[in-house]
Structure 1
Amino acid sequence: MTELKAGRSLVLRDVAAELSSDEGRDMFHAIGIDAIVCCPLIKDGRLAAMMAVHQDQARDWAPHEVDLIKEVVDRCWAHVERIGAEARLRASEERLRLAVDNAEVGFWDVDLTGDKLIWAARTRALFGIAPDTPVTLKDFYDGLHPDDLQMTAAAFDAARDPARRALYDVEYRTVGREDGVVRWVAAKGRGIFDEDGRCVRVAGTVLEITARREAQDALSELNATLEARVESAVREREEAQEALRHSQKMEAMGQLTGGVAHDFNNLLTPIVGSLDMLQRKGIGNEREQRLIAGAAQSAERAKTLVQRLLAFARRQPLQPVPVNIATLVEGMGSLVASTTGPQIRVVLDAPTDLPPAKADPNQLEMAILNLAVNARDAMPDGGTLRVTASAETIGEAHRSGLPNGPYVRLSVADTGAGMDAETLTRAVEPFFSTKGIGKGTGLGLSMVHGLASQLGGALVIQSRPGVGTNVELWLPQSAGTADTGPTPEPAATMKTSGTALLVDDEPLVRMSTAEMLSDLGYEVIEADSGEEAMRIMAHGRQFDLLVTDHLMPGMVGTDLIKQVRALQPGTPALLVSGYAENAGLDPTLPRLTKPFRIGELAACLRQITA
């Protein structure tokens, strides 16, 4: 055993004569061995295995027999080790293949001596070539993106240059030969040189990096445009804040204007009513009549001013009905032409098949007239005023800011001086005017803006200095049928009899209204509040008609009418208001807007008492 561990062969010619009992003689005899030659295999300094030739009787082994046995043993061990190495190599290659397949890495090998190109299936796929298709170095160069060809070729030349022997490390794009797909590829490799320094081959790996490069490009673009996008976001935020401030300012001005207009209407009601009655009765001499007429004219101008304030505040009492815009525009042609003068050419374009629009015809006529006057003032040397109408359907992100749906667009465009950006942003502010002191109230566009908003539409102004202005009034289409008949005049003064309960918290308003009712033949019972009116009823006073203000301290007019009719069903009632407060109002209640004349009061009473 010592000989074997030392790597020397064991030769026994006669086991019985050469071995003692404790050296294994009995073991050899038990298995029928009387002569043996053992050749050891030493690995890493240790006895790894043995191969033996034996015989069942003593034998004198000749030297050439021992040498033959040793040669056979050496060849056998060499074969066994080669088979093992091949098995291990196959296992290693399989593990490598699995790792490469899972990592989606492709191999490549350029045999420069034999001018051959060896590509794995994955490598072919990166060039858009089928797995079994033969490839050459020309296929490699033909598959490169034109913008990356020169750079990639230079890197390959550097890798096979004996003087440089550079690492082939490059990223390039391929254009698939069969599928035309552009892919980004990362390739790495090295040249292999012989003893003479010649490059015999260049081999390496390729990996698709399309997703990574796209992400890098997106990040680069993001970084490159970050500053611009931040500036844009800041600008949009400032614009939004400015729009919010403007909206809040307009809302605050609207609330203030509406309240002031309501108070003005209460002041104008006794003035307009009293002057109207004085004119109807012909009181005073000719000079006094002229003074009364002048005062009445001023009161009417003040009434119009208050109506414009209410229009801006979106609190004017509207009577929206289906309106035939074509008929309305056509009917205003002569009035617009006479208002603008002979130097301005007026063009009307409103198709007769337009759908009806939801609007108050009287207020809409006033709006068109206001826009025509503005256009005239913008064209002192003459020009063209074009009034057009069309049916439109609004989609997403429309310039009007209105919800999607069908609308009628009414446009009043001029070829005048136009407005700069600063003027345009303030155009609809009340009392803002560029016409100079005493030449305009600054309420024309404000009134149109308020009218459009109150009707559920919008006002859009487009203007350029030196080019002109186009004002668009967008009105919702109406499902009803437009009334093409003439607008009725206020009913004439009538004489009747009966008792009217008049309720108003303003003494002057109550006084002038009582005079009108008396002049119409009514006996008048006055009350300064809804609560006092209910106390009058509780004391048994009878009346045939209820005329009440709406906005009063305590009980409002609509609640008073409900309580009166609960106690005295069917009582005719007229609601009088300084401005339209539609919230909570019964739309069937007859209403009269302050200030009013006796003829307008008579017309309303005729309707509710007929």
Structure 2
Amino acid sequence: MSRCAYADVDVDNDRFWIRSDYNAAGIQSSAGTYSLDLFGPRAAADMREGRTLIVHDVGAELGPSEGLEMFRGIGVDAIICCPLVKNGRLTAMMAVHQDQPRDWLPSEVMLVREVVERCWAHVERVGAEMRMRESEERLRLAVEHADIGFWDVDIVHDTLIWPPRTKAMFGIQADVPVTIQDFYDGLHPHDRDATIEAFTAAIDPERRALYDVDYRTIGRDDGMIRWVAAKGRGVFDAAGRCLRVTGTAVEVTARKEAEEGLRELNATLEGRIANAIAEREEVQAALRQSQKMEAMGQLTGGVAHDFNNLLTPIVGTLDMLQRRGVGGEREQRLISGAVQSADRARTLVQRLLAFARRQPLQPVSVDVAKLVNGMGDLVASTTGPQIRVVVDAPPDLPAAIADPNQLEMALLNLSVNARDAMPEGGTMRISACTEWVSRDHRSRLPTGDYLCLSVADTGIGMDAPTLARAVEPFFSTKGVGKGTGLGLSMVHGLASQLNGALTIQSSPGLGTNVELWLPRSMTLPTSAARIDDAQERHSLRGIALLVDDEELVRASTSYMLADLGYRVIEASSGEEALQLLGTGQHVDLIVTDHLMPGISGTDLARRVRNARPGTAILLVSGYAEHEGLDPDLPRLTKPFRKSELAASLSQLGKTS
């Protein structure tokens, strides 16, 4: 033969390309693009219908309109051409050419057909391999980017194929060979039976089920537990025997954890809603209680202020009558009873102001250990022999910021409550210590160093409802006439006013522990002033300007000042006092109320200090807001006796 050519046919079944051919010496290549119809109806029909075209002599067998010109144009005088028809379409052609007429023998035709069939098989195999490589590459890229592992179980040869990603799901390194046993060993014990059952159903010729199962694995090398979602199907032969099972595996640990979290949320939803509602109700109850306490504080503070103004002339007048011995024995007994009632009223008002956090405190650095140890004997003498009093206050305790007089009263109130809680006797422990208050402490105080004074008893204790109301004013469990119900509320108000806190721990039958938390002082303790007759007799003498908007208070205070040796000038307001001073009136002392209409006592004192430096000033108050008071200004609390006024003036003379 002179040429062997191979051609690919277009989808239109007409155009074809000879991409390459074999040519004998002196024969030109036929490579190029052609139209099948131009080679005549005989050639076109044979090719499209899958018949071998055999032409012995082109010139003798084909006419001018039967493709003669096209065959001779490429130097063909005899031809054997075999078609390849796939899926009803002419796909390719392979031909043997002769450049002269030739009587093709049957054996030659058979040989060409065998060669062509082998070539077709080779081309198909190469194409299939190429397509498979492309498909495998696409699958590999897809699997790698989708974090999907695949697996192939050869049932016949009992082998397992796992890529590195699938091995990683079982905690196995990429270069380690695996067997079917590795799969079984890596299954979580709780999931092994269900997984094996699903695989058995997939290889069963009768069931041929889809292998679709989620299971946990335990990493062979790292021990980690992972969730895997696996899917696959069995491949069966004609006899129904399962040859292999192939499929994919995806790690779904994150999804399973999210699903479990969601299930837990759903399972606890009702409980969490109930807790949220309970917390909200608790917060609302606390808010209502706070608002109620604040309203009561404002009310009692205002009432206490008026009471102090009423009690000041009563206490002062009774004190003078008692000192002067007015009347006979009967009158003195009546005056003494009135003094005791006035003192009780005075104590009640002080407790009301303490609860309202509006008492005029004079916080100083207090030696807590000395104060507590000093009160031990007093408390023990008032509790009786059935109660054992234990005092524990180390002498090296740092000082606290407090008003010593009010602190003594608070400890005394707590001790009385502890005594009353032990009608059958018991032990009362009064202790003091330092403690670092951290976040979420029971006192709810800012983080820092504090002193804790506690009064604990082994008495009857309190249940939860009683404990919740313990600091409410006028709430008492002692019965009618046995208590005012202001003891704990007074201590609570004092603690709050000193930037401290009050905490109570109690259980029925186990006793009560009340803790008073006070800020620690960075300065040395201040010695408390003592009131004695010598101080009362000592006076500065001179002219005193008395300023108060209450006429009765001015009258009683004026009598006291006159008894102490002062000549008194009275003013009913701060404005009137400034007018007197503006006239050039000389004064040695100014005694002024704090809370007055118009100019307050503190403002008056500030103006006097600017205009007349060195003038002695004493501020008298029964009610005051913190921000309205000058902390450096000496103060005397209403109501007061002559001796208390004398002591304050004596201290004033020492500092002026």
Alignment partner of 1:101 is 2:144: yes
**Distance change in 2, residues 1:541/1:478 (3 Å):** closer
Paired residues of 2:544 and 2:566 also in contact (CA < 8 A): yes
Superposed counterparts of 1:504-515, under 5 Å? 504-515=548-559
Which one of 466, 474, 478 corresponds to residue 431 of structure 1?
Answer: 474
Q: Which amino acid in structure 1 is aligned with residue 42 of structure 2?
A: E
* Alignment of structure 1 residues 81-120 onto 2, 5 Å: 81-120=124-163
Give, in angstroms, the shift of residue 42 of structure 1: 3.2
Which structure 2 residues correspond to residues 36-435 of structure 1 after superposition, within 5 A?
36-435=79-478
Aligned to 2:621: 577
Contact 2:539 2:649 in 1 (8 A): no
Deviation string, structure 1 residues 454-480 (Cα, Å, up to 9, x no partner): 111110011111110110111111111
- State the distance in 2 between where 1:160 and 1:24 align: 60
2:42 is the counterpart of 1:3: yes
Q: Distance in 2 between matches of 1:115 and 1:75?
A: 35
Contact 2:539 2:650 in 1 (8 A): no
Deviation of 1:18 (Å): 4.1
- Asked if 2 retains the 8 angstrom alpha-carbon contact of 1:273 and 1:512, the reply is yes
1:318-355 deviation per Cα after TM superposition (whole angstroms, max 9, x unaligned)? 22222222222111111111111110111111222222
Relative distance call for 1:4 and 1:130 in structure 2 (3 A) is farther
**In 2: Cα distance, 1:607 partner to 1:206 partner:** 92
Letter in 2 for 1:199: C
Pick aligned residue for 1:474 from 511, 517, 532: 517
Once the 2 structures are TM-superposed, how far is the Cα of residue 571 of structure 1 from its aligned partner?
A: 2.7
Q: Is the 8 A contact 1:9 1:40 kept in 2?
A: yes
CA distance in 2 between counterparts of 1:504 and 1:37 reads 139
Q: Report deviation, 1:487.
A: 4.4
| CA displacement at 1:19 relative to structure 2 | 4.2
Q: Find the counterpart in structure 1 of residue 10 from structure 2.
A: none
Q: 1:488 aligns with which of 500, 508, 530?
A: 530
Q: Does 1:452 align with 2:491?
A: no
1: CA distance between counterparts of 2:179 and 2:202? 19
Distance 1:184 1:540 in 2: 97
For residues 397-437 of structure 1, what are the alpha-carbon distances to aligned partners after superposition, in whole Å with 9 as ceiling and x for unaligned?
A: 11111111111111110000111111111111111111111
1-structure distance, mates of 2:398, 2:343? 34
SS of 1:492's equivalent? helix
The alignment of Structure 1 onto Structure 2 pairs a total of residues equal to 609
- 1:371 is displaced (CA, Å) by 0.9
Could you say which residue in structure 1 is the equivalent of 2:26?
A: none
Q: Which AA in structure 1 matches 2:41?
A: T
Displacement of 1:302: 1.6
Distance 1:9 1:402, change over 3 A: same
Q: Please report how far the alpha carbon of residue 25 of structure 1 lies from its aligned counterpart in structure 2 after TM superposition.
A: 4.4
Report the CA distance between 1:98 and its aligned residue. Answer: 1.7
Alignment partners' CA distance in 2, 1:343 and 1:443: 26
CA distance in 2, matches of 1:164, 1:23: 61
SS in 2 for 1:346: strand
Residue by residue, what CA displacement relative to the aligned partner does 1:240-280 show, whole Å, maximum 9, x if unpaired? 11111111111111111111111111111111111122222
Which stretch shifts more, 426-435 or 571-580? 571-580
Give the conservation status (yes or no) of the 8 Å contact 1:3–1:9.
no
Partner of 2:32: none
Q: Bigger CA drift: 347-356 or 430-439?
A: 347-356
Q: Deviations over 1:206-256 (max 9, x none)?
A: 211111111110000000000000000000011111111111111111111
Q: Secondary structure at the match of 1:147?
A: coil
Match of 2:561 among 502, 517, 535: 517
- Alpha-carbon offset, residue 191 of structure 1: 3.2
Choose 368-377 or 108-117, whichever is displaced more.
Answer: 108-117
CA distance in 2, matches of 1:217, 1:538: 84
SS of the counterpart of 2:235? strand
Work out the CA distance in 2 between the residues paired with 1:44 and 1:167.
32
CA pair 14-203 structure 1, distance change in 2 beyond 3 A: closer
Q: Deviations over 1:498-550 (max 9, x none)?
A: 22221111111011111111112222222212222233344554433222111
User: Residue 506 of structure 1 aligns to which amino acid in structure 2?
Assistant: E
Change (3 A) 1:77 1:165: closer
Query: Which range moved further: 96-105 or 161-170?
Result: 161-170
Please report the TM-score for the alignment, with normalisation by the length of structure 1: 0.95
Task: Output the aligned Cα RMSD.
Answer: 2.1
Q: Which of 550, 558, 583 in structure 1 is aligned with 2:594?
A: 550
Q: Per the alignment, do residues 496 and 280 of structure 1 end up closer, same or farther by CA in structure 2, a change over 3 Å counting?
A: farther
Whether the 8 Å CA contact 2:451–2:520 is kept in 1: the answer is yes
How big is the shift at 1:360?
A: 1.6
Code of the residue aligned with 1:349 in structure 2: it is D
Structure 1 gap ranges (5+)? none
SS of equivalent to 2:537: coil
What's the TM-score once normalised by structure 2's chain length?
Answer: 0.88
Contact 2:545 2:587 in 1 (8 A): yes
Give the whole-Å Cα distance in 2 for the aligned partners of 1:51 and 1:566.
125
* Contact 1:14/1:34 (<8 A) preserved: yes
Letter in 1 for 2:546: L
Decide whether the 8 Å contact of 1:413 with 1:471 is kept in 2: yes
Deviation at 1:28, TM superposition (A): 4.6
CA distance in 2, matches of 1:81, 1:23: 32
| 1:208–1:497 CA distance, 2 compared to 1 (3 A) | closer
- Residue 587 in structure 1 maps to residue 631 in structure 2: yes
Q: Which moved more, 1:44-53 or 1:502-511?
A: 44-53
Asked if the contact 2:355–2:491 (Cα under 8 Å) also holds between the matched residues in 1, the reply is yes
Task: Give the Cα separation in 1 of the matches to 2:207 and 2:71.
Answer: 68
Matched, 1:600 2:644: yes
Q: Which moved more, 1:521-530 or 1:375-384?
A: 521-530
Higher mean C-alpha displacement, 12-21 vs 324-333: 12-21
**C-alpha distance after superposition, 1:270-315 (max 9, x if no partner):** 1111112222222222322222222222222221121111111111
Relative to structure 2, which stretch is displaced further, 500-509 or 36-45?
36-45
Q: Which residue of 2 aligns with 1:529?
A: 573
Structure 1 equivalent of residue 23 of structure 2: none
Whichever residue aligns with residue 531 of structure 2, its letter is E
Q: Structure 2 CA distance, aligned partners of 1:392 and 1:408?
A: 6
1:16 to partner: Cα distance = 4.1
Give 3-state SS (helix, strand or coil) of 1:308's partner: helix
Corresponding residue for 1:561? 605
